[in-house]
Structure 1
Amino acid sequence: MLKNVAAVLLDGVHPFELGVVCEVFGIDRSDEGLPVYDFAVVSAEGPSLGTHVGGLTVSTPYGLGRLEEADLIAVPAGSKYVTRDYPPELLDSLVRAVGRGARVLSVCSGVFALGAAGLLDGRRCSVHWRQARELAVRFPRAIIEPDVLYVDEDPVITSAGTAAGIDACLHIVRKEQGPEVANKIARRMVVPPHRDGGQAQYIERPLPRSQCDTVGGVLAWMGRNLDKEVTVEQLAVRAHMSPRTFARRFQQETGTTPYRWILRQRVLLAQELLEGTDETMDTIADRAGFGTAAALRHQFVRALGTTPNAYRRMFRGPQAA
């Protein structure tokens, strides 16, 4: 049963990510019959820390010894967490916590502390999409899922960007105390108790550009003619190659196939039109080369984990849908 929760305070901690954990687990909501957690902010680097964000100084009377009794240890994000070293005493505490059956949770870049403790080895994990590559390089044994809001590899739970920490915290509450408790806490926080989709819809994925002239001209033509249906054979003729040679060169220079390249380009164009215009789904589907609104929806959901209408509502407000 989840009763005792501790948030780790490290130099450079981001106030919002720390506040997410404090808001979910550190507020007394007993007036609504909700559980009250034995919550503490625990310093890993001394009793008083100045953050690099917002000019705040955070003090706490609790040291690392407080982690030994926690059912859940949360490590919020912070400045330079991607490259910094972590106190060996903290890493040992995290490993011991998992060993005795406690859970550990990371919010955004806090996952790098879990990686330094060896807790990501062989485990699926999530991180902010901008830091996925650095996490993979630093901890090659981690199995990174960059498209999701959080990953539950009990007892290690990792979340992506800032607000995804809320999703992960509420997930833990839902798992331990049930959906009614999680829903009531979410209602008090004025946030959705569960968000559909993942962080894929937020990720900037510029298409790889060819550094050679072999298929560069064909790429430019494809980008200008997304509404046209083309075959590898037609593209090969334009590049003055055999279809087999063209397909091989295309893969070498872009890292993907012609079909996947043009499909991703169409999704990107659809995103731009949904964010910046009031055009109908049929018009967007036609301009982006999907043909029908149904085909647009199918490929959009496959690529981004959300529907075109939901995407437009998120970026332009409910009235835009």
Structure 2
Amino acid sequence: MRTVAVLAFDGVVGFDLTTPIEVFSRSRLPDGGPAYRVVVCSTAEEVDAGPFRIRSDLGLEALVEADTVIVPGVSSPAVFPGREVLDALRGAAERGHRIASICSGAFVLAAAGLLDGLRATTHWRGAAALAERYPKVTVDPDVLYVDNGRILTSAGAAAGLDLCLHMVRSDHGSAVAADTARLSVMPLEREGGQAQFIVHETPPLPDGASWDPLLRWMEEESARDLTLADIAARAGVSVRTLSRRFREQTGTTPLRWLHRARVRRAQYLLESTRHPVERIADLAGFGSPTAFRERFRAVVGTSPRAYRKAFQTTDH
């Protein structure tokens, strides 16, 4: 059983602190046993986490036994966690532990020098400040998370959930990660991996969006050769109205959204089957294997074969 240590110090964001606790604590192995032991390591007996205070009996020395160390977001980039926290993180990195940050926690990793020469991300509002303050870090504000192997960073709080599930999948496979996602009442579809496997976020629907049924239908029918006319007919509007209202509600075009749905289907098939690429191209709704490879690489950042090698867990 792996140990996950979540750092707590004055100024951390409460939600970012509880997110990894929830995700990793809910993760179960196929035999029903816990996949992780989760501990909270703090710099003091009680720390201020914004809307609440948190108490822990474990100090930073407990990081020595952790396989993974999680640094939550901080309430402001100006928050300084203290030399003892930075030294503890450097020590964990030297021992080869996996270290991940959620949201603005990337500023803490950067302050410890752990992001020097690496690609990283953080909340888009803080990306420019991170790049300016730490010029040795290559900041990418357009991705959900970046996995450099032992050092990982995520964007906003929701992306922290994606990152935690990604780590579960890397440790125990897609089936365990999918079960963890269900227990967390979260979809396992915003996938990524090492830097070249990043998948960009599908824009969320705003409050009051009325096209959920249409999007579900498009997802279910994504293997078909749908046209704008087909989608407009399903929505009961003209093609022109469809294009305008679809962008208003989703931030993208119908065909781009459809392409992303097909890529998600292909990812699942690459992970869960041994179908050849040509068969997956057909099942996912791409016109040809060549079109599939090109679209998959454009969205995921790598080839279908490389993705399957990294993420396939089935023996069938």
Q: TM-score, normalised by structure 1?
A: 0.61
The answer to whether residue 46 in structure 2 is matched with residue 48 in structure 1 is yes
Give the alignment partner of residue 134 of structure 2, picking from 120, 139, 142: 139
- The change in CA–CA distance for 1:28 and 1:151 in structure 2 (over 3 A counts) is closer
Q: Which amino acid aligns with 1:96?
A: G
- The change in CA–CA distance for 1:10 and 1:184 in structure 2 (over 3 A counts) is same
1:26 offset after TM fit, Å?
2.8
The answer to whether residue 190 in structure 2 is matched with residue 190 in structure 1 is no
Q: Which amino acid aligns with 2:179?
A: K
1:29 offset after TM fit, Å?
4.5
In structure 2, what is the equivalent of residue 253 of structure 1?
none
Gaps of 5+ in 1: 203-276, 289-294, 311-321
Residue deviations 1:184-209, cap 9 Å, x none?
Answer: 1111111112316534847xxxxxxx
CA distance in 1, matches of 2:32, 2:148: 30
1:281 offset after TM fit, Å?
4.7
- The change in CA–CA distance for 1:28 and 1:142 in structure 2 (over 3 A counts) is closer
Q: Which amino acid aligns with 2:85?
A: L
Residue deviations 1:214-246, cap 9 Å, x none?
Answer: xxxxxxxxxxxxxxxxxxxxxxxxxxxxxxxxx
Do the aligned partners of 2:26 and 2:180 also contact (CA within 8 Å) in 1? no
Do the aligned partners of 1:34 and 1:181 also contact (CA within 8 Å) in 2? no
Q: Which amino acid aligns with 1:51?
A: A
In structure 2, what is the equivalent of residue 65 of structure 1?
61
- The change in CA–CA distance for 1:50 and 1:281 in structure 2 (over 3 A counts) is farther
SS in 1 for 2:136: coil
Q: Would you identify which runs of 4 or more consecutive aligned residues in structure 1 move more than 6 Å?
A: none
Q: Which amino acid aligns with 2:111?
A: A
Residue deviations 1:251-295, cap 9 Å, x none?
Answer: xxxxxxxxxxxxxxxxxxxxxxxxxx996553354799xxxxxx9
SS in 2 for 1:181: helix
- The change in CA–CA distance for 1:278 and 1:135 in structure 2 (over 3 A counts) is farther
The answer to whether residue 72 in structure 2 is matched with residue 76 in structure 1 is yes
1:51 offset after TM fit, Å?
2.6
Residue deviations 1:75-117, cap 9 Å, x none?
Answer: 111212x112231121121112122211001000111100001
In structure 1, what is the equivalent of residue 241 of structure 2?
283
CA distance in 1, matches of 2:244, 2:182: 40
SS in 2 for 1:140: coil
What's the C-alpha RMSD, in Å, of the aligned pairs?
Answer: 3.1
SS in 2 for 1:77: coil
Do the aligned partners of 1:146 and 1:199 also contact (CA within 8 Å) in 2? no
1:12 offset after TM fit, Å?
2.2
- The change in CA–CA distance for 1:84 and 1:286 in structure 2 (over 3 A counts) is closer
Do the aligned partners of 1:109 and 1:128 also contact (CA within 8 Å) in 2? yes
Greater relative contact order structure (CA < 8 Å, 6+ sep): 2
CA distance in 2, matches of 1:97, 1:124: 19
CA distance in 2, matches of 1:64, 1:42: 5
In structure 1, what is the equivalent of residue 148 of structure 2?
153
SS in 2 for 1:157: strand
In structure 1, what is the equivalent of residue 105 of structure 2?
110
Q: Which amino acid aligns with 1:5?
A: V
Residue deviations 1:32-71, cap 9 Å, x none?
Answer: 6143422111102x1111232x2x1110011110011111
Do the aligned partners of 1:148 and 1:200 also contact (CA within 8 Å) in 2? no
CA distance in 2, matches of 1:287, 1:178: 38
The answer to whether residue 19 in structure 2 is matched with residue 20 in structure 1 is yes
CA distance in 2, matches of 1:285, 1:36: 45
CA distance in 2, matches of 1:168, 1:278: 38
The share of aligned pairs that are identical, in percent, is: 39
CA distance in 1, matches of 2:61, 2:73: 21
- The change in CA–CA distance for 1:88 and 1:287 in structure 2 (over 3 A counts) is closer
Q: TM-score, normalised by structure 2?
A: 0.62
SS in 1 for 2:6: strand
Do the aligned partners of 1:147 and 1:200 also contact (CA within 8 Å) in 2? no
Q: Which amino acid aligns with 1:59?
A: R
SS in 1 for 2:157: coil
CA distance in 1, matches of 2:89, 2:155: 20
- The change in CA–CA distance for 1:72 and 1:278 in structure 2 (over 3 A counts) is farther
1:159 offset after TM fit, Å?
0.6
- The change in CA–CA distance for 1:281 and 1:147 in structure 2 (over 3 A counts) is farther
